[in-house]
């Protein structure tokens, strides 16, 4: 609370200095501190505080913007309660105050709650902003390029058997062996070998091995982009001519059936959710960039050049740190 009070006083350009004998007011463009060979001007002092406290000013701005739209609700309350419980249970009472100061910049659980509530509102605002800026043209384009009817797929799965303890040479060798095996399967399919027999001989997926590798019908909007790109142009009875690489191995996919393509209207919301997820993962700095846009749309304007400079520096520092991760 003391820090916030100091910041607010700084922003209006005056700080009251009280001594036992007198009360003086420090104003802009005056000398704040005198010494024999140097002095510190009030402008230098104010500029220093502006830069040091810019994050608190940004918090205050976001609070003003978001509190009108995002009122406290049950979802927020449960989120805040869960986060506070997690933090309190992770540290003992002796360590907790230091953790609050170091990682959250607060002095108490009460201040922590305010911090978490603001972060919750920011997340809600980011999601809403991105969703509201998805255009019908984007949705239609995604529908035309990516959506097919629900498809029935069978697979032959070749596991790479890579372990976390493997060194890079071992990982590379196992990866190459799995790829070689997958290509052997495709060569045998080209030679008209039975899919059913090859599943039994090669597939490492025990859950589907006894059922000709059948994965059942996959909902069009639930198929990930990588798999969709591999199967979308296949006709019924066709298989992928190249192995599909995933985290743990390779897949050869066979399209055994396909339903009619759903209408755009029936899956519009599903597509919108997919596009939102894509946008949220499109950049490491998407959150900070979106909040900056939200502030601009709220017509936030810094009247003080030093504050504006400190704000831009603050955002760029966050962006740089995120991009390094």
Q: What is the pLDDT of residue 325?
A: 83
- Given a cut of 50, whether residue 116 has pLDDT beyond it is yes
Q: What is the pLDDT of residue 3?
A: 43
Q: What is the pLDDT of residue 47?
A: 74
Domain positions in the chain: 1-52, 149-261
Greater model confidence, 86 or 31: 86
Residues shown for the chain: 325
- Given a cut of 90, whether residue 198 has pLDDT beyond it is yes
pLDDT in tens, 144-184: 988 888 899 999 999 999 998 999 999 999 999 999 999 99
Name the phi and psi angles at 223, rounded to 5: -80, 130
CA distances from 208 to 196, 200, 215 (A): 11, 10, 7
Q: Mean pLDDT, the chain, as a whole number? A: 87
Identify the burial level of 220 via C-beta atoms within 10 angstroms of its C-beta, where 0-12 means exposed, 13-18 middle and 19 or more buried.
buried
pLDDT in tens, 217-259: 998 778 888 898 899 889 999 999 999 999 889 999 999 999 9
Q: What is the pLDDT of residue 28?
A: 59
Which of 195, 118, 104, 123 lies closest to 154 in space, CA to CA? Answer: 195
CA torsion sign for 230, 236, 241, 245 is positive
Domain 149-261 classification at class level: alpha beta
C-beta separation of 184 from 252 below 8 A: no
């Amino acid at each position: 609370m003391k820090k916030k009070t100091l910041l607010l006083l700084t922003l209006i350009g005056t700080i009251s200095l009280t001594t036992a004998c007198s009360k003086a007011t420090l104003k802009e463009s005056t000398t704040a501190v005198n010494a024999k060979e140097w002095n510190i001007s009030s402008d230098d002092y104010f500029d220093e505080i502006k830069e040091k406290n810019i994050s608190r000013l940004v918090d205050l701005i976001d609070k003003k913007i978001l509190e009108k739209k995002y009122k406290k609700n049950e979802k927020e309350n449960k989120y805040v309660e869960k986060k506070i419980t997690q933090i309190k249970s992770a540290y003992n009472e002796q360590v907790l105050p230091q953790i609050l100061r170091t990682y959250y910049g607060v002095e108490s659980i009460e201040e922590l709650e305010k911090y978490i509530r603001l972060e919750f509102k920011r997340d809600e605002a980011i999601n809403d902003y991105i969703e509201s800026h998805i255009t019908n043209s984007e949705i239609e384009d995604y529908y035309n390029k990516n959506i097919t009817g629900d498809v029935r797929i069978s697979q032959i799965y070749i596991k790479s058997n890579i372990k976390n303890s493997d060194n890079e040479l071992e990982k590379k060798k196992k990866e190459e062996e799995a790829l070689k095996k997958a290509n052997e399967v495709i060569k045998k399919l080209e030679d008209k070998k039975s899919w059913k027999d090859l599943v039994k001989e090669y597939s490492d997926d025990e859950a589907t091995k006894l059922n000709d590798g059948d994965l059942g019908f996959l909902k069009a909007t639930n198929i990930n982009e990588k798999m969709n790109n591999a199967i979308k142009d296949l006709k019924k009875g066709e298989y992928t001519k190249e192995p599909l690489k995933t985290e743990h191995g390779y897949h050869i996919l066979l399209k055994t059936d396909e339903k009619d393509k759903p209408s755009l209207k029936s899956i519009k919301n599903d597509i919108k959710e997919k596009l939102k997820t894509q946008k949220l993962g499109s950049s490491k700095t998407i959150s900070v960039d979106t909040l900056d846009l939200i502030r601009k749309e709220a017509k936030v304007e810094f009247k003080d050049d030093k504050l504006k400079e400190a704000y831009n520096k603050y955002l760029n520092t966050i962006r740089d740190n995120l991009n390094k991760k």
